[in-house]
Structure 1
Amino acid sequence: MTPIGSAPSVFALVIGINKYETHDPLEGAVADADAFARFVQTLGVDEDHVMNLRDGAATKVAIISALKSLKNNTKIQHGDAIIIYFSGHGARTPVPSEWVDWESNESQIEMICPVDIGSTPGEGETEISGIPDRMVGLWLNDLSKEKGNNITLIMDCCHSASASRDPKDTGFVPRRILNPPAIIPKDWHICSHSRGAAVASGFGGQNQESHILLAACGRGEQAWENPKTKRGLFTTALLKTLSESDLRNLTYNSLFRKINIPVSPPQTPHCYGQYIGRRLFDRRATGADPSFISGYKRDDGTIILDAGGSHGIQSSSKYSIYRNDIPSSLSNNYLGFLVVHSITPTTSILGPTKDTTSFDIPSRFFAKDTWNGTREPALVYCDDRERLESILRKASEWEDIPRPEALGIVLVDDAKFANIRVSFEENQVVFCRKEGIEAAFVGSRLPRTTQVDNADGVLAVLKASAKFNFHLNTTNISAHSISDDKLKMELHRLDGQWSDEYKWVVTPTGPNLINNNQVDMVVDPNAIFGVTLHNHTDSPLYPYLFYFDGSDFGIQGWYVSPIGMGGGRDKNLDAPLLPKSKFTIGYGDGGALPWAFHLPHGENKDIGFLKLYVTNSPTDFSIVLQDSPFDEVNSRQYFNPTSAIPSDGCYTKTVTIFQRREGMPPVTLKSMPPNKYIPYSGIMFFVLLIAFSLQPTIIFLVLLAYAVYKNRF
């Protein structure tokens, strides 16, 4: 293990419980906690930065006090790493009837079990209950506001109420308590005073902005102890991976791709959080490049890329292979390249070509498209082409490429073939959209510009426009589709108010704002919004929701499903959207924050797109994410508090959000999809058609080109 070096200071709370007062004991929880505490010491952490609670010391009062003390610890500076580790029993119990504001698929809450759970403090008093997820979520939200969101919560316990997997046959022991005491009135009273939009049920459904959660298993699984080693499977695998890795170049994403737990008994670790691309315990250093896609090599030698047609992967695309997902890492050298041989909606098979130089392919790796992450470059038109080319040649990336197309840039001679136009106004570079639904509503000119002498900035805008258009217009490639009556998406304004019991209740209000895949709204800077997904199919589904900002080409993730182990071991990840149920985003138990819309400074209108991807197997859509290429970035996130899909299918839905100031006329455009993105290959076909029409003797090539074109599009 290579330590993290000059990362922020680290503080930790490590809890391990074997000997419960009124429930079955465990054998490995304390040993796991001790081992994790030793790992923390290897990070160079001062002893007084670590709080340890074991067995009898880990009472409910002591755990709560320790959690609260982190917020008030003056030694912890904003941005310092905070690690909370718990090893012991977990449990589930019904949601208290008093939580009338709480949306939950299964009407269950999860809890961690202190050593005195089930004990009675005194004669006639109520049994001590566990510490509910909603309460922990409250503290984590408050802690992140005070100390920053460089918080990692690690839980080696389980909350499944199922006893269907009998551990007696194998000797493996589950870390869970069945039929725990109900939440006591004091606990639900505290939680009910929380703002429901900011906290969610289930530890995996907590506010994903506030922390990263590493969980030992899914909601229906058990977290097991090995009877031979008397250690937890998850903590053992986690510490083994950490000890074998260079922590300076390890992100949460790459960490989980490397973890390996025995196939039997079944246990699927989960990783939740908005920032899983960060380096471990370090929010300040450069994190993962979202264009790096994870992959693995099977035992039979088959090479799998964890992305497919729904991510925009195309046959014969060429991918560079790397060991990790941090582009600036000195140790992340290019290993070689492979090409795509076949594609499914969520995976691809890679392989060499005749020209590929043989190289050792790691069992877990990351891959990056050699064409800037998209095979459809930006088609750029500029009246002063010579000046634009002169600017682009000064960009730092330009020196290292064999041709401009490798950066996703193609300069065209006719504006009607372009999807972005460039012009100059004094020392500013101006960017204009192509004609279409966006330009018809807000005008063709983007509200932001770039300095002429900022060559890297100009190139970044053009590349961002290519990725924006490509992913916005990538649609469902599955032969099977799904209608709105089977999978319905609603957007509602959220209303928060104090009830008669002085509880803060956040609920959807008013009608569904989506009408024929469009939303026409007058922007209210104080309004917040949430999405409700209704699954009327018989399949559990994995939703991924993104916002495409038409004013600056930024692509933000509103909700992403959890990730799991690499190597194809993530198929048992919890599906957020269960059959015949609904899932909420921005309120309730979805774990995402509400959304807010605002207009760029000085603008009366704006346009954006909500794009929903839904798969029936877990995948990773990080490749879609994109920061705004402009200097001025404003997040739209609000921070106050009968199956229709076959195996490995993907469904997409795009909703256009027309935003205008009060007094501006409503949208009168006819219902239509977003701009039809003209693929580069399509442009080339028409050019070839004109050229070949002048050469009748080679008309056969025209027909061949047409056949290829029709087969693709």
Structure 2
Amino acid sequence: MATLYALLVSIDKYPIPRHRLRGCSNDRAEMNGFLKRYAKAQGMSYKGKMLSNKTAKRQDIIDGFQHFKAATSGDCCLFYYSGHGSQAKAPQEFWNNPTGLNESIVCYDSRLADGRDLMDKELAYLIWEATQNKGIHFVSIMDCCHSGSATRTLVKERYRSVEANNKSVELEDYYGYSTYFKDHLTPPGGRHVHLAASADYELAKEKYLDHSDRGVFTYCLLQVLQQGGTFQSYEELMHRTRIKVTGTTTQQHPQLELVGTNGSTGFLGRKTTKGLSYLISYDRPTNRWLLQAGAVQNIVPSQPDFSTTLALEDGTVVTVVRVHAHQSEVSGMEGKDPDQQYAAQLQRNATPPLSIGIDPNLPQNLKDVLTQNLEDYPTIMVHEDLLSPKYLVQYWKDALVLVRPGEKIPVFKRVPVRKTDQEDTDVFLQRVAAVAQWEGLLLHYNPNSAIHQDDIRIEISLESCDGQSKAEVVTDPTVPVILPYCRQTGEWQKPKFRLRIVNENPYANYWVSAVYLSSTFGIDNQYLRKQRLPARQEVWMTYLENGQFKMQFEAFVNSAYLKWGINRISDYIKIFVSTDEALDTDSFLQEDLDLDFGPARGIHKAIGKPSQANDTSGWMVRDVELAIQGPDWEVPVTDHQFNHLPGLSIKGSEKLIAKASLTDYRSAETAFQQAIPNCLTEHKDRPVPISPGLIQSNGLHVLELYHLNDRNLVNTENPIQVKLNRADEQSVILPFGYDRANGAFYRVGYSNGSGMVLLESLPTATPTEKRKSKDGSIKVFFQQIDKELDLRSRTSLADAKLV
């Protein structure tokens, strides 16, 4: 049986009155209780050693590390400290730090006569001493400051930091100095994971939380651990903890430090599991076991042929039998202690999984490993028909990639794999599961809401380009809110906006949360985690900057998009509204995915049948799509040379003067004020993006020409030449204009079969964005046609109108 060894140190009652704290002993007691329960659930033996106040002198803590001496391979060791952090004068040999100070923890006797802090380098040696030549997992958790502020108290918050210790300590007096690497004076390092309460320039705080004084970091960390964080990697654990901390206090950002290990390891070395984690507890008034998640969190009741199930840490499988707004009833908890709370991992949810296809060219042994690992990912389903799945798994040069059918850009960074390595494919599937979570949340809503739509008003204020004119206000948007860059004094300016939520109901109070879905599959609620919205009141999305909450957001298109010829992306904001304070959107959170050459998801919004829960209750979801329109690519059109846009080059007809840029279908539809049908649909051909962007989303399908001196200069004998970079031997690309009156396309030129498109006539101008031309623009669409249709000749379909 493995053993969990824990050394837990807390100091509240420092001998100097102005140094005293209130919440450290509470923190240590809560941490000790959690570790006991965790060890029991894992079938581990627990051996904890407590040091507090007078028993936590410097030498006591050093001696306390002997507690880890009995640990052997397979055991876990944890050092926890709650108290003051500070800095102390460093020996001259360590003055590579410009402050001349080393970081330290303040022991009970550190500020007494002849007292000393326990230095960070001494702690590093103690950890090395405990872990050397052992196969043990070591984690240190420090709820203290690492800065040298002399500030002591606030009305509602106390800082866990005291003034620096200016006593000189000789290098030879550092504990473990004899083992230091003398060439660069550093102690030997032991493999371990370090969880810190704050960055080294910040203050760790304690507050009055849940009827007692607590350290903010320890309080939030234990909340996350007790709500399924033990299933997650250290990176995921600290991400969720960081969000909770920043929602509880300001200017404190917990840090994860890794020495000789990686952040993908699970808590206390356990293997991470897949899926979301929740808490199950017993409700005595109703005699039911309740999962602390419900329809708002997208939990779906079990169906006759498909169950929603969760697994406890001991392997027990429980089934969701009924779903309410924020809780769900479960079965299968027979024999469990009603006084204990249980972390549970979502195994399977009775919602449609994300459909993926596997490219038949995938090596068979890799396909076998991938198929085997898919059993652990219930949110992903393999679809045999390669034309039907939402995404496709392909194999590119010893790496797995996920693409949309017909596209050539991975939706996240390719994952190098060895053909029989399960860990590599598991990393890939974890990222696919994140895509599935994002897609599922995008479709999430409550079809049976008891809250009337008119109760809630959403307003987005679009700031003017010059910052002086009155802002444009978009109310309750049902179409994408366009956020265009604008040109001011010759420079492109990023669009700015504010978002507020107004409760129009004169009697009802609500709780609201805003969940931000980024174009790179990240999910975050930091801008409005949860806030009470009283009757006839309003709340704003905000962010914290330099200690102040600000409401004005700046939207931007990452420069990495330019490599793909993409200048328009869409992010989404889901507004959750509930009558119940139990509203919780933390379970949705996930970090953005790294993509191959920078972020590039695009503007495609998934459409499908959403999951429906059997709950008619006081919650609803409202969606806002933000379409961020980046700077335009614009080139002059002349008759003496080709000028380049992303994906094409263009040369004008003789004497023609114009400007050219690219746009997408959605912008063109906005200009036409009507939907544009896909032409030649009977042949299943599709509009072709000019740029190498995302075909299904925001590839730039439309060439715009404006500021023309004379459109009649373009004719059969004097065409505009457009050379596309996307030559395809199996198809040909034809140019079309669009007739708004008839709702039909008509051809305006032909292709010579080698990527050159000749425009022999131009359609009339139609409205375009004012930042391009107030007189409108001529729009040319491009269609990819199979060669077998024989549409290459200049005479075939010359007069055809294609619907």
TM-score band w.r.t. shorter chain: 0.3 to 0.5
Under a length normalisation based on structure 2, what TM-score does the superposition of the two structures give?
0.39
Higher RCO (CA-CA < 8 Å; seq separation 6+):
1
Higher Cα Rg, which structure:
2
Query: Which has more helix, going by share of residues?
Result: 1
